[in-house]
A = this chain, B = another copy of it.
Amino acid sequence: MTRLESKFAELGAENAPGQEVRQGTGQLSAVMRGDVIPGTPVDFSHGDVDAFAPTPGAREAWEAGYEAGGAQAYTEYRGAAAIRERLARRLAGFTGAPVDPVDELILTPGTQGALFLALGALVDHGTRVAIIEPDYFANRKLVRFFGGQILPVALRYRDAETGPDLDALEAAFRDGAEVFVFSNPNNPTGVVYSQDAITRIAERAARYGVTVIVDQLYSRLLYRGESYTHLRAQPQRPDNLITIMGPSKTESLSGFRLGVAFGSAHLVDRMEKLQAIVSLRAAGYNQAVLSTWFDEPDGWMEDRIAQHEAIRDDLLAVFRGAGLPVATPQAGSYLFPELPGLAVPPETFVRLLRVQAGVTVTPGSEFAPQTASSIRLNFSQDHKAAVAAAKRIVEMVARYRA
């Protein structure tokens, strides 16, 4: 195997969300137990934008962008100046710290695009990067793609007390981590980092000179009684800090591929240089849809959160009723239940779920090597269909229990 071959072998995307359609079903019949379980198919690998529609006005905003013509088609690589101007104010208001629209903000093709650019701006051969386990699967893949070295840090999410192992994090910083990337709320568990954890992360990153990338994709979808701490608003914070957000999830605008990164000007500058050779810019007309972001109709966000909370609670009841351990997500729309010992490997079970139960989930091995026996569900779905599908998962677990 050449170096490039092994590099791409590590990038395996066949279990990545949305790619299930490319999987063969060849060898499954040999291990299959029982028949198909009927029911409406549910694809928990991503949110259902038919069940939760895009922000009101998104289409009209796009059309206004299209009608604006050339000025909207060809923006600066970092995005249209007027859109950045408006967004910077809103992001500063939301996160509690100023954002300079000229030098500290870049629009990207989705939050994925922002993560890619941020890690591409910071990770080279041998760069040590502290990574939470479990966390969004692309974090690990990106670090490996750029030739970096992963220093894993455990996240507690099963116990009453949740959060990152701060001693392990400090050890990683002492061991030469130059970058720390993490999602908060955590993907896949829905854990929100406490104020204490964020304060300590900020303070230690500052002390050790570590650059921090915090992916806050789900920070608006916060359930009742929870509070969120923005790292960038901490009085003591690292000099080099990039915050990432986007309207793909809670706002259901994923079909537009829009994200933002904001923070240290020299890093945003590098990200733009990289964007210039990666895809030039977030699609011009689509950028105009960001005018709807943080400007949703009154009550719309509260309503959306309440609907997700209701689905969350019903799914938790289904899984817990069947004895499957699952943490209560404090934010976002992911559930990460743990399966018991099964007669087939977890990734085979995931394929069987799709073939026999019409249920698509993402295997836990995508998020950390040690969470292979969990599955991730994005429960931003039709409520009734999601509950019925969760019951089919439980039935399949019973069928394949070791």
Contact = CB atoms under 8 A, between A and B. Distances in A.
Contacts of A142: 277
Interface in A1-59: 3-4, 7-8, 11-13, 16, 18-19, 21-22, 46, 48-50, 59
A255 B279 contact: no
Main secondary structure of the interface of A (DSSP, over half): helix
A309 B108 CA distance: 36
Contacts of A50: 69-70
Contact of A278 (B12, B46, B69, B113): B113
A69 B48 CA distance: 9
Interface residues on A, range: 35 or more
A281 interface: yes
Contact of A272 (B13, B110, B141, B279): B13
B110 A279 contact: yes
Given A69-B49, A74-B46, A279 B254 contact: no
A276 B13 contact: yes
A121 interface: yes
A122 interface: yes
A334 interface: no
Contacts of A66: 59, 62, 255
B283 A257 contact: yes
Given A49-B74, A109-B109, 19 more contacts: A3-B124, A8-B270, A13-B276, A18-B74, A50-B69, A59-B66, A62-B66, A72-B255, A74-B255, A108-B279, A110-B280, A112-B279, A113-B278, A113-B279, A254-B284, A255-B284, A256-B284, A278-B278, A278-B279
